[in-house]
Amino acid sequence: MARLAHRLTRDIDRQPLHPREVSPLELNRRHFLYGSVAAMAAASSLGTASLKSASASAPRVAPGARVLVIGAGFAGIGAARALALDGYTPLIVDARDRIGGRAWSHTDLGTSVDLGAAWLHGGDDNPLKPHAQQLQIPWHPADYGNGRRIDLRGDVIGVAELADSMGAPALQARLADGLFWAWLRWRLGRLVNASGSGRSLAEHWEVAFAGAPDADACALRGAMESYFAAPLDEIALESLFVGEGDELLPSTERLMTGGMQRLAEGLATNLDVRLDTIVERLEWSPGRVTAITTDGEIEAEAAVITASVGLLQQSRPQLSPALPDTHRSALNRLAMGLLNKIVLRYPHRTWDDGEEYLALCGSRLASVVINYGSHGGAPILVGMLGGQRARDVEGMSNDKAVGLLHAELRRILGANLPEPDAAIVTRWGQDPWSLGSYSFLPVGARGNEAQTLAEPVADTLFLAGEAIDTGGYGAAHNAWRSGLRAARQISGGGPLLPS
């Protein structure tokens, strides 16, 4: 069994904008789960394949055809760019008044702060990395060992260095080593039938961490609920066995200090994009689609649909005829998660600029706090809210949410912390064009939902989005990769963009 955490010092790249990256923890999904052998077995048994190795085939849609792309996020932009490269005529439509989808960069606080997607995950393997470099969008290498674990549950705050607590091999090896037998039972079950295990990640967690240092396990659990955007007792055990090594508690990540939305906008350059255009209904038959929108009807020969899982589950847009039963069944086994943020800007810094992260145990709201000052930005602290905390803030007033987090930060950073002079509270569950942050596998999921949803419908409808990438889910690069896959299905295997 591979060790879950180990030291990593690595020169990722030598770009002037992107300095030498050093991370103390390599916490990738393969190490986190069950070692490279088991990871390869799981990936191969799920039929996962790399885009690069997919063989060319006859086009499903005639070359040069018009293709409607619903959604101007990374999935839609990726599909449209690849289709244009293959000689098709893509048209992107989006209900929002901006490009980027769930990549939304706020720039009114003295620096760019991403309210949605914020990181490039996966190190050098992230297919968006070369595009960010080409567009010269600044990033900051994330050092997850640079910070403290804070226990707020008692009258006296408990403090430990992150590298010595959540990064401790003894702590994290409990989860990795214990997962082997859980994975084996899951794999054997899949050989017998196609149903899910019916077990939650929380069930395994309680067993794996029995007797572990309480505050460390508490903080790690909060970080995982932020990663999965759901409470652990709702997350299927299968969540840990899906993908091709996507990072769980990752290293070699880049925080996009220049803005993820800026990356999306740069990638959309020269594409035909219509914003403020709501697709209310999509009527289709093999080889033809008609979109009834708030800006009139649009005719095309095929459609790439990148709406979120939350929207598709509510039949938005309405499809006539509806998706096949196989697709609807897979869709209904997924769920939308919530990762909200509370952004606090202060008049000046009173805290250590060199400390990047605070991992909190016992917080009313945040599981992780990011210090933007350590990234060369403004005096901004961002609380990350996952699991039940993210749901709680949806029903809070801004004043209450800001007040609760600020009070906790004063306990941690000292009474001289001034009142924030600006704040933003996200509520992605109330966003009408996403109904959540990103997808997760709830208890009852099988782990093969993305493979099913990625199957073309009558060579006319092609689904894409972060939930429909066969190599993982939940991140911007998953959305991008799914868009490339949809374009390849349409063209039959034309040239791909760098990936």
Residues 379, 20: Cα–Cα separation, whole Å: 24
* Top-confidence residue, 376 or 110: 110
| Residue 67 belongs to a domain | yes
* 274 vs 493, higher pLDDT: 274
The helix (H) or strand (E) run that includes residue 365 is none
Q: Which amino acid is at 401?
A: A
Does 419 have pLDDT greater than 90?
yes
Cα separation, 184 vs 308, in Å, equals 32
Domain contains 294: yes
- CA angle in degrees (0–180, nearest 5) for 385-388-390: 35
CATH of the domain at 67: 3.50.50.60
Please say if the pLDDT value at position 51 is more than 50: no
Q: pLDDT grade, residue 144 (50/70/90)?
A: confident
Distance CA 239, CA 450 (A): 12
Report if residue 81 sits inside a domain: yes
Q: Are 335 and 442 in contact (CB under 8 A)?
A: yes
User: Is the residue at 319 inside a domain?
Assistant: yes
Residue 124's pLDDT band, with cuts at 50, 70 and 90, is confident
Q: Which of 198-202, 305-309, 486-490 has the lowest mean pLDDT?
A: 198-202
pLDDT score at 308: 98
Model pLDDT, residue 493: 81
Residue with tokens 């894409």: 464
pLDDT, tens digit (0-9, with 9 covering 90-100), for 442-457:
999 988 999 999 999 9
Give the pLDDT band of residue 209 (cuts 50, 70, 90): confident
Q: Is residue 89 situated within a structural domain?
A: yes
3-state secondary structure of 83: helix
For residue 467, give its domain range: 51-101+260-335+436-491
> Is 379 within 8 Å of 345 (Cβ atoms)?
yes
| pLDDT tens-digit series, residues 282-295 | 999 999 999 999 99
Token match 């409808």: residue? 461
Band (pLDDT 50/70/90 cuts) for residue 266 is: very high
Share of the chain above pLDDT 90, in %: 63
The answer on pLDDT for 406 being more than 60 is: yes
H or E segment at 252?
Answer: none
Q: Quick check: is 249 in a domain?
A: no
Q: Are 317 and 70 in contact (CB under 8 A)?
A: yes
Distance of alpha carbon 365 from alpha carbon 86, whole angstroms: 47
Query: Where residue 21 falls among pLDDT bands split at 50, 70, 90?
Result: very low
Query: Residue 445 falls within a domain, yes or no?
Result: yes
* 30 within a domain of the structure (yes/no): no
Q: Is the pLDDT of residue 12 over 80?
A: no
Q: Does the pLDDT at position 378 exceed 60?
A: yes
**Virtual torsion, Cα 304, 427, 261, 333, nearest 10 deg:** -30
Residue 392 has pLDDT above 90, yes or no: yes
Cβ neighbour number for residue 313 with a 10 Å cutoff: 16
Q: Which of 94-108, 183-197, 344-358, 483-497 has the lowest mean pLDDT?
A: 183-197
Residue 198 region, left (φ>0) first, then alpha (ψ -120 to 50), else beta? left
Q: Is the pLDDT of residue 365 over 90?
A: yes
Instruction: Indicate the SS3 state at residue 368.
Output: strand
pLDDT for 207 equals 75
- What are the residues facing 345 on neighbouring strands? 380, 422
What's the number of domains the chain is made of?
1
Q: What would the two tokens of residue 47 be?
A: 């039929």
| Residue 220 in this model has a pLDDT that exceeds 60 | yes
